[in-house]
Structure 1
Amino acid sequence: MKGRNETAMGAFRLEIPRTYDASPERVFRAWTDPASMKAWLAEGGDVVADPRPGGLFYLGMVHSGEIRPHYGRYLRVESPRLLEFTGVSEHTHGKESVVTLEFMPRGGQTDLRLTHEGLPDERMAVAHTGGWTYFLDALAPRLAGEG
């Protein structure tokens, strides 16, 4: 399986922590179950996901009435503690970036740390920080609704 393509990645990275009132298994599943991903991450757009090392994914994210395609491949899938995947979209200028999600249990909650590396420039790092903040916030009520 091919790993990261460091030579093609940009120099910018971001890190965002969150805590969810759900088990690591539930939070991990939200990131790997296509029906869940469609509801909160793609906002109703198309999702194809094969969450295993080397597996591919496609998100047709709906934004301002347009489909924004995001493609990638899973690098590491270690349920329920770690998920790492590449991401390519117009917002990475067509270059591969890497998202790492770490799921850490804390009582009945989960501490999540999202790291996104390889972004092409500062403007896209700022834009991705805003985008990830939006989606990480949108995940909380979805997890609360699963009971």
Structure 2
Amino acid sequence: MKGRNESAMGEFRLEIPRSYDASPERVFRAWTDPASMKAWLAEGGDVVADPRVDGLFYLGMMHSGQIRPHYGRYLRVESPRLLEFTWVSEHTRGKESVVTLEFTPRGRQTEVRLTHEGLPDERMAMAHTEGWTFFLDTLVAQLSGAG
């Protein structure tokens, strides 16, 4: 079950860069440690994560008082420079899409480039752009608050 399921993926993609005042190791850990993911990515909802190739994750993201399930499997885990996983939710219309995170050291900062490919249509690509922008901004506070 390795690799992408290209035939099931949509044609829309997005790319968002962001810089953090933290080491690549810390930023990478924020994306792979279940307690950290629960705090900023699931907004307090349930998180199960096994960050290794073919390992699975589940995020029960809280949104407007409801749990929004998101799940997938890790495709590439190359700490602390690259993380790639499938992403499935009602907003991908139940189809597999792929999120790739690249972590690049820039002096005392880490530049993160998030790419999300395989979204089903332009509306869902725009919704994911808004969502990822919100969560990438939330991570700034998470990293500054956690020693």
Is the TM-score greater than 0.5? yes
The reply on whether 1:108 has 2:103 as its aligned counterpart is no
For the aligned residue pairs, the C-alpha RMSD in angstroms reads 0.5
How many residues matched? 147
CA displacement 1:107-137 (0-9 Å, x = unmatched):
0100000000000000000000000000000
What residue number does 2:86 align with?
86
Identical aligned residues as a percent: 85
Q: How big is each residue's C-alpha offset from its partner over 1:50-107, in whole Å with a ceiling of 9 and x where there is no partner?
A: 0000000000000000000001000000000000000110000000000000000000
In structure 1, stretches of 5+ residues that fail to align are none
Q: What does residue range 15-26 of structure 1 map to in structure 2 within 5 Å? A: 15-26=15-26
Write the distance in 2 (CA, Å) between the matches of 1:121 and 1:75.
23
Please tell me the residue identity of whatever aligns with 1:91.
H
Amino acid in the other structure paired with 2:109: Q
For structure 2, the 5+ residue unaligned runs are: none
Supply the distance in 2 between the matched residues of 1:83 and 1:115 (Cα, whole angstroms): 11
- Distance between the aligned counterparts of 2:68 and 2:146, measured in 1? 27
What one-letter code is carried by the residue in structure 2 that aligns with 1:143?
L
Matched to 2:53, the amino acid is: P
Please state how far the C-alpha of 1:21 moved relative to its aligned partner. Answer: 0.2
Q: TM-score, normalised by structure 2?
A: 0.99
| Paired amino acid for 1:64 | S
Aligned to 2:32: 32
**1:17 and 1:56 mapped to 2: Cα distance?**
25
Local SS of the residue matching 1:130: helix
Question: After TM superposition, which residue ranges in structure 1, 4 or more long, deviate above 6 angstroms?
Answer: none
TM-fit CA distance, 1:2? 1.3
User: Aligned partner of 1:70: which letter?
Assistant: H
